Amino acid sequence: MIVHEFATAQSIVKTITKVIKEKEIKKIYRISLLIGELTFLSGEQLKFWIGEGLKGTVGEGVEILVKTLPPKIRCQECGYEGGIKVKEDPSFHFSLPIFACPKCSGTKIEIIEGRDCLIESLEVE
């Protein structure tokens, strides 16, 4: 999944680089990211690739904070709104979400949180 993190990090670096130019930022001290669990992104890999992408810029050496957002669904059948069950399977290297309502087992669900990767904030000079 390194390619997945690398591509996402490139997109984040591109966005930050654009902000650096537009706002004439002199130094970036901290980047805060929100990563939904359903992105299956590795926070450590993202930190590494963002750090690499910002080398030689005002963001070099930046502190990168990653907050993970758990998935949240809304069931179209019973109205349940909340978390989902996760299946632990040793044959996989990560937990698999079960996309069914934990209350009524309905499968007509809407994912309302947990699938985004967002730049929450930048601490800059």
Q: Which residues are annotated as a binding site for Zn(2+)?
A: 75, 78, 101, 104
Helix axes 2-23, 43-53, angle to 10 degrees: 50
Note whether 67 and 35 are within 8 A (CB): yes
Instruction: Tell whether the torsion through CA atoms of 115, 40, 36 and 101 is positive or negative.
Output: positive
Note whether 4 and 41 are within 8 A (CB): yes
Q: Which residues are annotated as a binding site for Ni(2+)?
A: 4
Q: Which residues are annotated as a binding site?
A: 4, 75, 78, 101, 104
Q: CB-based contacts of 45: which residues, under 8 Å, 6+ apart?
A: 1, 2, 5, 6, 9
Nearest to 66 by CA among 25, 121, 11: 121
